[in-house]
Chains A and B, each alone.
Chain A
Amino acid sequence: MTGGVEAVLFWGLGAVAVAAGIAVFRTDSMARATYALAASFVAVGAQVLFLHLDYVGVVVVLMMVMEMAVMAVYMVMFMGMNPALMPMSMVHSRRTSLGIALGAFLVLGGGALLVPWPSRRGAPALDLTASLGEAVMGSKMLVMLVVSPVLFSTIVAALVLALPRGRYDRLGDDLRRRPADDPQPGGAGR
């Protein structure tokens, strides 16, 4: 692919990503907002692929498509309305938010254009995914050793939060109530 075509494609994907991101907060239905966010993520994933990060790009696309599917289920579960038909506009501090967002864009975009970026140091490996795998299993293993308990804690914390009735509901604050206060009695010895 020549540099010109690549640049046009990259800018096109960027425009799609930003436009879809704006559509998330402009559209009148939660379902459309979810699909717009998925489109934005897929466009960014494709841009990441342009930057030769094959593994991360594919992971971002797959993860986000699945997450949007979960999010669509949440809309149906919690929004209490037909998520495809109900118009909505639930915002607060709209003008302040727009001002802050515009200011952030000007500062970040201005910084990106004005900072004298250094030239590239080092050369990419021939097989980037293989070099990532070697780093993760070798010199950067500590990073993954930290990330894995964080992810495990997240699973535990999310389950504890989402649990409808915990042991304190069943056994009282001192955990001594017998038999347990269950909505449906049953189990061994009860």
Chain B
Amino acid sequence: MKICALIRMVPDLVEELEIDENGTEIYPSMYIANERDEQAVEEAIILKEKHGGTVEVVGIADDEVSTEIDEPLAMAIAKGADKAMKVNLSRPTYKRAELAKALAEFLKEREYDLILTGIQAIDGFAGMLGPMLATYMGLPYIGNVVYAELKDDHLLVRKELEGGVIGEYKVKLPAVIGIVSAEKPPRFVPFAKLRQAMKSAEIEEFDLDVPEIEGLEVERYYEPPKPEIVLIEGEPEEVAEKLIEVMKEIGVL
């Protein structure tokens, strides 16, 4: 089985986000691999371990993250992926449709049996890359997947449904699937092993034109006003009295 896993970079929320004056751009000070995509990489490697085959990871990069993405790509190699590729987008885009359209041709040429992607990325919060990619490629898509195995000529996947129910589905290959979490937590890679992979991994690079798809524009990004937090301090009796005052003020008493 020839498996592909996609990796996107997203803002690392450990550092605060900055929004530009016009409110139309977000400037993160640090990027990190999208967590769900790391789950997709893990599931890809688990599938390879179960059924054989190869895993190729494709990192999606614009100018902002073209260096940063090398680390998660090397990490995937250290975990057991066979090949790492990086596609450099001609311009950054938040539109998943544009990204999907750009990637579709590139991925089609490589004739994967299975393409795995994280169910969503925290920057767009759309959950759309997988479904749109499948549409452009003319392949089936299933999301919210937590387990996959090869059974005869198809893939058997499990997805989480509401109400504590698990759905089991037969998926004809080739297909695109969206991963919530891998069967097991992503494996740990010791520091020295990652460093070694960063030195030795050969990352093949490709330039990719991002097509324009109209109909959607950012109006503004902004932070909603933060609710005021008041800490009531003092002896229990005082605190209780003040709390009653506050409750009367806001009308719950």
A and B bind: no
Task: Name B residues whose Cβ lies closer than 8 Å to a Cβ of A.
Answer: none
